[in-house]
Amino acid sequence: MFSKIKKDFPILKRKINGKRLIYLDNAATTQKPIQVIKAIEDFYKKHNANILRSIHTLGEEATEMFEDSRKKIAKFINAKKEEIIFVKNTTEAINLVAYSYGRKIKDGNIVTTIMEHHSNFVPWQYLCKTKNLEFRVVDINEEYFLNNDELNSKIDRNTKVVAFTNASNVLGTINDVKEICKTAHENNAIAVVDAAQSVPHLKIDVKDIDCDFLAFSAHKMLGPTGVGILYGKREILEEMEPFLMGGEMIKEVSINETKWNDLPHKFEAGTPNIADVIGFGKAIEYLEKIGMKKIRKHDKKLTKYALEKLNNDKIIIYGPKDVEKRVGLVSFNIKNVHSHDVADMLDKKFGIAVRSGHACAMPLMSRLKISSIVRASFYIYNDEKDIDALKKALEKIIKIFN
């Protein structure tokens, strides 16, 4: 099945610097299948109208298609449709929580971890600074897992929010979300899960995890850019004040007062990214047709293969050894060669796209005592041949630089 998937992705036919494109930058954003591209085109060609406003045929069609996507996404993570809020990306989803929920916090501490992407670090650090709250950061151990003892001691009765990633975009480490949410709740804190790198790879069930908030981006799972999802528990969202104010998030406005709209619209001010939300619905359909279990199996197979193939005394690999405990990405450095030089050469000489740099995780870079990494990240259209090509190219780069 996975061998046939490539044909659905037109961009994979491209040549880069005369070579077949080998796309290994999926943790940054994945490529889009023709089904998603066509769904967006079809919307603009046949159904384009604003939603929830106009009672004409196009308006009703657009609203139905948009809300249908919301239902698909809700089902995908086992949430209720009114618990799915459309934003523009994971970053905005987390900022919404830090701003709207954060506004109610008066004292105490917020716990996060050293392996966070800046999106789940900076908003909390800023909230702590502006509200005079204590900002606590849990470290990792030598095996690249969160330090459990430290986690359990840093979360205490004064903790208001535990904000942590389900899977690290640098290490690949999968954290025990269920257990961390439980610890947060035992201390009357809420749990905010950054699922940007987990929802594309793992079957996520928000009821089973029992998180209070979960954030992810469509563009990292075959969907378009400009669409993010914030899942929030209904009872918590009901109590929160809106983040942005304007059209469609109101029920009634007078000179003296405004009544907020019902969920989820209370948090969706203004015209949303209608076409791309509909495109994301198609991406969910595509992933479900393959099945998240199969996607995870493929992911583990490629990660295991990559870890074996990149085993070289000139290459330093970061992240857990056990593929059961990591998502489909491998970060590494070639000794004495800057990550940007490696990435540049992979692109220019071999047509291989990888990410290089600090990967928006500067606190983690400092912790690892490095300034940057090279990262190869996989998705459903990658195969062993792509990794073989990466291995060969890296061996040549090692020779050139030595």
Query: Of 267-275, 297-305, 353-361, 391-399, which segment contacts ligand C6P by CB under 6 A?
Result: 353-361
| Helical packing angle, 384-401 and 339-350, nearest 10° | 120
Beta bridge partners of 70: none
Q: Which is nearer to ligand C6P, 47 or 355 (CB)?
A: 355
Q: Which is nearer to ligand C6P, 236 or 353 (CB)?
A: 353
Shortest distance, position 259 Cβ to ligand C6P, whole Å? 31
Shortest distance, position 195 Cβ to ligand C6P, whole Å? 8
Q: Which residue has the tokens 């619209």?
A: 265
Query: Of 51-59, 116-124, 199-207, 282-290, which segment contacts ligand C6P by CB under 6 A?
Result: 116-124
121: Cβ–Cβ under 8 A, 6 or more apart, which residues? 112, 363
Helix (H, G, I), strand (E, B) or coil at 260: strand
Residue 34 dihedral angles phi and psi, to the nearest 5°: -60, -30
53: Cβ–Cβ under 8 A, 6 or more apart, which residues? 59, 248
Segment 194 to 213, residues that bind ligand C6P, using CB under 6 A = 194, 196-197
127: Cβ–Cβ under 8 A, 6 or more apart, which residues? 98, 102, 105, 110, 133
Query: Of 44-52, 75-83, 87-95, 270-278, which segment contacts ligand C6P by CB under 6 A?
Result: 87-95
Set 128, 181, 211, 360: catalytic member: 360
Nearest to 308 by CA among 299, 297, 317: 317
Report residue 63 as tokens. 């609203």
Q: Which is nearer to ligand C6P, 315 or 364 (CB)?
A: 364
Name which position in 26, 63, 90, 261 contacts ligand C6P (CB under 6 A): 90
- Identify whether 320 is preceded by a cis peptide bond (ω within 30 of 0): no
Which amino acid makes up residue 393?
A: A
What distance in Å separates the CA atoms of residue 110 and residue 132, rounded to the nearest whole number?
Answer: 11
How far are the Cα atoms of 80, 126, 232 from residue 70, in angstroms, in the given order? 9, 31, 14
Secondary structure (H, E, C), 370-384: CCCEEEEECCCCCCH
Query: Of 85-93, 96-104, 303-311, 336-344, which segment contacts ligand C6P by CB under 6 A?
Result: 85-93
Name which position in 119, 261, 339, 372 contacts ligand C6P (CB under 6 A): 119
Segment 18 to 77, residues that bind ligand C6P, using CB under 6 A = 27-28
| 391 lies in the site for ligand C6P, by CB under 6 A | no
Name which position in 31, 63, 69, 91 contacts ligand C6P (CB under 6 A): 91
What distance in Å separates the CA atoms of residue 280 and residue 73, rounded to the nearest whole number?
Answer: 9
Shortest distance, position 158 Cβ to ligand C6P, whole Å? 26
Shortest distance, position 94 Cβ to ligand C6P, whole Å? 7
| 317 lies in the site for ligand C6P, by CB under 6 A | no
Shortest distance, position 165 Cβ to ligand C6P, whole Å? 5
186: Cβ–Cβ under 8 A, 6 or more apart, which residues? none
CB of 169 closer than 8 Å to CB of 376: no
Query: Of 261-269, 278-286, 342-350, 352-360, which segment contacts ligand C6P by CB under 6 A?
Result: 352-360
360 is catalytic: yes
Shortest distance, position 67 Cβ to ligand C6P, whole Å? 23
Query: Of 128-136, 190-198, 206-214, 282-290, which segment contacts ligand C6P by CB under 6 A?
Result: 190-198
Q: Which residue has the tokens 């005369």?
A: 18
Q: Which is nearer to ligand C6P, 89 or 273 (CB)?
A: 89
Helix (H, G, I), strand (E, B) or coil at 147: coil
Name which position in 89, 95, 109, 183 contacts ligand C6P (CB under 6 A): 89
| 165 lies in the site for ligand C6P, by CB under 6 A | yes
57: Cβ–Cβ under 8 A, 6 or more apart, which residues? none
Nearest to 287 by CA among 207, 204, 228, 230: 204
| 355 lies in the site for ligand C6P, by CB under 6 A | yes
Name which position in 72, 117, 201, 326 contacts ligand C6P (CB under 6 A): 117
The binding site for ligand C6P (CB under 6 A) comprises 27-28, 89-91, 117, 119-120, 165, 169, 194, 196-197, 217, 355, 359-360
Q: Would you name the residues annotated as active-site residues?
A: 360
